[in-house]
């Protein structure tokens, strides 16, 4: 996406829709979600409340574990092909230097790649993260040209051992940790 398109399509009303990558942001939404579900299915309110309470406890525990382990990579600088994990990076103090926005059919220009390469070098970027569901050939080319590791994160899961929210977040955090240590 171009920055203008990103603003229009991914930041509706000033909100980045990729909130689900941050366990505490997800936790902060549980009450509202539970109330809304209960308004549609009042007979299941008790189940919704119980499940939300259990999930909240797991999210808080997940955040504590990640926070402790993330201390070793705080303030690391990264670059992404798309801003799909920024809530997570911000929560755990990983600095997103920039994003390589790619719109379908829009080619990344050599001039733009050169500008990004210079920024990656000048800011000592340690890794470039790409979304498994949106493989970015330009991001891989960029990584090779600047000699920075590309790490493929899977924000969607649903395959193999990535069936729960916690599994997905833990898996991606392990990849982030490995890339930045």
- Dump pLDDT digits (tens) for 161-170: 888 999 999 9
151 in any annotated domain: yes
Report yes or no on 114 lying in a domain.
yes
pLDDT(5) > 60: no
Name the phi and psi angles at 79, rounded to 5.
-135, 145
> Which residues form the domain of 55?
17-68
Number of structural domains the chain divides into: 2
| Residues 92 and 34 placed together within one structural domain of the fold | no
pLDDT for 27 equals 98
Give per-residue pLDDT as tens, 58-95.
999 999 999 999 999 999 999 888 778 999 999 999 99
119 and 168 in a common domain? yes
For residues 95 and 137, state if they share a domain. Answer: yes
Tally of residues, the chain: 181
Q: What is the DSSP string of 46-112?
A: HHHHHHHHHHHHHHHHHHHHHHHHHGGGTT-EEEESSSTTHHHHHHTT-EEEEE----TTPPPPHHH
Q: Are residues 170 and 89 in the same domain?
A: yes
- Token output for 63: 């955040």
């Amino acid at each position: 996406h171009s920055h203008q398109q990103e603003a229009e399509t991914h930041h509706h009303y000033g909100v980045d829709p990729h909130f689900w990558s941050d366990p505490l942001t997800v936790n902060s939404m549980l009450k509202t979600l539970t109330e809304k579900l209960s308004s549609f299915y009042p007979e299941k309110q008790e189940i919704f409340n119980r499940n939300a309470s259990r999930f909240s406890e797991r999210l808080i525990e997940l955040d504590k574990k990640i926070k402790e382990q993330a201390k070793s990579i705080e303030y690391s600088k990264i670059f992404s092909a798309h801003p799909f994990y920024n809530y997570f990076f911000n929560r755990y103090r990983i600095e997103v230097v920039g994003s390589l926005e790619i719109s379908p059919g829009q080619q990344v220009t050599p001039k733009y790649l050169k500008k990004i390469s210079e920024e990656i070098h000048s800011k000592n970027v340690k890794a470039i993260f790409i979304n498994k569901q949106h493989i970015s050939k330009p991001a891989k080319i960029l990584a090779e040209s600047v000699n920075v590791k590309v790490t493929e994160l899977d924000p969607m899961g649903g395959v193999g051992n990535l069936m729960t929210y916690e599994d997905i977040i833990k898996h991606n955090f392990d990849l982030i940790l490995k890339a930045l240590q």
